[in-house]
Chains A and B, each alone.
Chain A
């Protein structure tokens, strides 16, 4: 593990890079070249990219440099590289979903979230690996190989936003977009030791993103620090009248308040998730207790909270997700089943075996679960719980993948739509990231960032980078 001050361009964070470019201390071209060199050196081991768009990124960096030199900054991300999960449209590039089904699916327009990033000056470096259609799992029977974990390339980087997590963690780019339907931003954030946010449902437009499950899909920022995550959210959040799920709320100012003290904040600790419902590895439990004690030392009040069980949350998530996904994929599964990888084929076909009654009952129970989490969040400012119950397992052992994948506490907040952030809680004895999750009130990402930043500052987890060189 590397632990020390930032001296190399590839470890520059989003705000640091944007600040240096705005101050004319850093050239966007110099930054882009350094990252493209690093991508060339490391991506053959990591497979974070499905499609690197290096030449276009370099040309855009040259234009950004000219603009910066002339004092014309497009926005708070001027000249900063970003990677995009390959279910999100980038105009002129294919959106493949990491699948043969959409191998030639050229996007004619940017997704709204990409349009906003580019409007703020960010430069798209390329399209990133995902589990097939954001559901399949690490598969070796697809047109592209699965991404790998930079902390140990024999291990799974989490998913489905695998390339996003792997690339941000390895210093291939300082920020990436992911999507989260059952935990797919927070799982790679947990496995790769970065910060991943699933915002409140409806805060970030889904328009231009290939759907997995209409009522569970969220788009979220993935970065190496909490402050960078807040900055990125500030850019991509906002009402979209053409996304039926988009919320009409005032734009939040997330970055300004991240450094506020957590003194007197009330934190609800959902211990039963990792102690009873799905018992975590002892290292994970110890790390979560350490986070709770640290927040107490910072002045927060930490109390136990009880919610429905992870088993029931998971069942509600699965019925809704697979039913909605079947509505999307049914036609292709009937006509072209052989064009899916085995994992996605199995997971997507499951939706054919639920009844309409199963789906409606899951949605009815969902409303009750939302009410139960709302009660907990009336009495607490933020909830604290596990994200993954284990460090990342080996990528080449399907049985381990199958065993560890459901051992998580992320699906509850796709079901309820509350904002949830996963980040590093420490390292295992094997040198793999351990994780923690914070959950906030609807549209109160600001308090979520405040608590996450307090943990980050007290622990120094943002200074830890994978040993990959």
Chain B
């Protein structure tokens, strides 16, 4: 993720103030998030459900 992309995403997330006051922290945050999702094996079964499942009426 390059600097322009980080700034674009940060502004889209409403982090303009953080970007102005703490640009290094915004960059560090973006770098923490970068590539993390790639370490997760994607389920190949299209029907693989997320956890926790929707359970109507439970826990309400």
Q: Which residues of A contact B (CB under 8 A)?
A: 215, 243-246, 311-312, 314-316, 318-319, 322, 330, 333-335, 337-338, 342, 345-355, 358, 360-368, 370
Contacts and interface: CB of A to CB of B under 8 A. Distances in A.
A211 to B, nearest CB: 15
Interface string B4-43: 0010011001111110011001101110111011011111
Contacts of B34: 353
Interface string B36-54: 1101111100001111100
B30 A312 contact: no
Contacts of A338: 21-22
B9 to A, nearest CB: 6
Contact of A345 (B16, B25, B49, B50): B25
Report which residue of B9, B10, B42, B59 has the largest number of chain A beta carbons within 10 angstroms of its beta carbon. Answer: B59
Contacts of A337: 15, 17-18, 21-22, 25
A342 B21 CA distance: 12
9 contacts: A246-B59, A334-B18, A337-B18, A337-B25, A345-B25, A350-B29, A352-B29, A361-B42, A370-B51
Contacts of B29: 345-350, 352-353
A345 B22 contact: yes
Interface residues of B, number: 34
B15 A315 contact: no
A390 to B, nearest CB: 21
A215 B52 contact: yes
- The prevalent SS among residues of A at the interface is helix
A443 to B, nearest CB: 16
Report which residue of A348, A353, A366 has the largest number of chain B beta carbons within 10 angstroms of its beta carbon. Answer: A353
A408 B1 CA distance: 27
A349 B23 CA distance: 12
A365 B40 contact: yes
A388 to B, nearest CB: 21
